[in-house]
Structure formats: C-alpha cells, structure tokens
C-alpha cells in the first residue's frame, strides 16, 4: 500500500461547474502535484496573470456595466490549495489497448515496489455484439464486468517509479500506473 498526498489549487470563478453566473470553485487536473511548494508557485503565477488580465480589461472598458463586472471579478477573485491523500493498493499494466490488474505485494522503498498479477475474468455476455472486425464488434465494451482474485502462485515482479511522476512506474519497458482499486480491461474490438 502506498499513500501519496497531492496538492492542487482551485480558483473561484464566476461561471462555476454549478452553472452560469454562479460563483464556485474549479480546479484543473494538470495543476496537480505532490510538491506543495510547486503548487504554491503555480497558483501565484496563475493569480498574477489573472490580475494583469483584469487590470488590462478594466483599462479598455468604458460602459458602467462592464466596469462593474470587472470590479466584481477583482473583488471576488480567490485561490486556494486543496490537499488530497490517496492510498494506492493496486497497479495496472498498460499493454496498448488492454490493461492488466496487479496487487501490491510489498513496498521496498518510495521508488520500488513488488507486485503480482491478479486473476481476472471478463464478462461481456450482457453487451451487444455485432459481426465485424476480426470476429465481432462489442458495443460499449467499457461496460464489461470484471471479477478479480488474488493469485498467490503468480510470480512477483519489481517495478520502479519513473522520475518526476509518482504514478508512472516501469519494468523492462512495460508501463504501470498506481490505482486505488484493481482495474483490468480487455479490448474485444482490437
């Protein structure tokens, strides 16, 4: 099991995800990092760019309604850092369009873990299949049902974390990613 703390900054925006003309918090996944100082620097840069934009906008508007709107944006402009702790218990191996599920057996260090492939059973009997492709085309194959079971007889392999990305791992050219639950996918349409 690996526990990682992620930092992300949110911005209070006028047209929030809750609706148009409503103030609310929004965040972008690309700002997520495990380094709080890096998150603070990104947030400061975003805030400075936003302040510059609003100052320029205020200088170019002349009607009272637009001036009031920009002043409202300046008055309500807020940023905050949000901390999220994630606990990873599984790993997925990405093999082109297929994904294999693994369980974390042992944490060697923050850069090395031992994993073991899980037994998986994919069920598409509830999905529509049509003639086409190599044998058939499966509609909505992402809705396939997968059951997972620990397989103690499978070999244990070591994977190592890639630089600057706490969720990207590798072993002998294979790509792995940490997950909070087992995840496997079989591409029936390939």
Number of other CB atoms surrounding residue 184 within 10 Å: 22
Contact 160, 172 (CB under 8 A): no
SS (H, E, C) 4-61: EEEEEEEEEECCCCCCCCCCEEEECHHHCECCHHHHHHHHHHHHHHHHHHHHHHHHHC
Please report, for the chain, the start and end positions of each structural domain, with discontinuous segments joined by +: 2-86, 90-179
CA atoms within 13 A on the CB side of 2: 27
pLDDT tens for the 190 residues of the chain, in order: 888 888 988 888 877 777 777 788 887 767 788 889 988 999 999 999 988 998 898 888 888 888 888 888 888 888 999 898 988 999 999 998 899 999 999 999 888 999 999 999 998 888 777 887 666 777 788 888 999 999 999 999 999 998 877 678 999 989 999 999 999 998 877 7
Strands 119-123 and 145-149, sheet pairing = antiparallel
Quickly count helices (H) and strands (E) in the chain.
2, 13
The reported pTM is: 0.70
């Amino acid at each position: 099991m690996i526990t990682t703390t992620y930092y992300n900054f949110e911005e209070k925006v006028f047209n929030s995800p809750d609706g148009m003309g409503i103030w609310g918090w929004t965040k972008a996944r690309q700002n997520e990092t495990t380094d709080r100082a890096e998150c603070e620097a990104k947030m400061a840069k975003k805030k400075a760019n936003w302040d510059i934009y609003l100052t320029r906008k205020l200088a170019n508007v002349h009607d009272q309604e637009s001036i009031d709107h920009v002043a409202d944006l300046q008055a309500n402009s807020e940023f905050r850092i949000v901390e999220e702790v994630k606990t990873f218990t599984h790993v997925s191996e990405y093999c082109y369009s297929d994904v294999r599920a693994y369980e974390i057996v042992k944490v060697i260090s923050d850069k090395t873990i031992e994993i073991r492939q899980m037994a998986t059973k994919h069920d598409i009997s509830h999905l529509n299949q049509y003639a086409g492709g190599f044998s058939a085309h499966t509609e909505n194959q992402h809705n396939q049902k997968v059951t997972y079971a620990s397989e103690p007889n499978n070999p244990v392999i070591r994977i190592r974390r890639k630089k600057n990305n706490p969720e990207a791992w590798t072993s002998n050219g294979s790509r792995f990613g940490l997950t909070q639950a087992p995840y496997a996918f079989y591409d029936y349409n390939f």
